[in-house]
Amino acid sequence: MKYEALFEDEDNIFGGSPKSKYLDVVFTANRGVVEFELEQLVEKMAIMELILAEQIDAEDLSRVMEQFRFQNQELCDTKAKSLFIELTGDIVSKCE
């Protein structure tokens, strides 16, 4: 993927991985902002799970997700890193 350099370059402007920067921000940002963003994240996950459960038997959901992750590990890793960047930006922008 063309964005991998942003995620993996140790000398990039972020000075660490997207996950480590997210954790730095979460532990130092305004607690109210972090709580709001975490609530938004959990609500979004709940909605996505409910939508998936309508398409896939709820009992099969974990198995299907695990199989997808196994078959698409690189894509899942890249998306997770992208989400860490997005979540960090959401928190930082509300703390300014």
pLDDT tens-digit map of 24-83: 999 999 999 999 999 999 999 999 988 988 888 877 888 898 999 999 999 999 999 999
Angle between helices 58-71 and 73-95 (to 10 degrees): 100
Sign of CA dihedral 32, 37, 18, 6: negative
pLDDT of residue 12: 56
Q: What is the CATH number of the domain that holds 65?
A: 1.10.3350.10
Q: Which domain holds residue 73?
A: 4-95
| Whether the predicted pLDDT of 15 surpasses 60 | yes
pLDDT of residue 95: 86
Residues 6+ apart with CB under 8 A from 28: none
pTM, two decimals, is 0.76
Task: State the total domains in the chain.
Answer: 1
Cα torsion through 89, 71, 46, 92, rounded to 10: -10
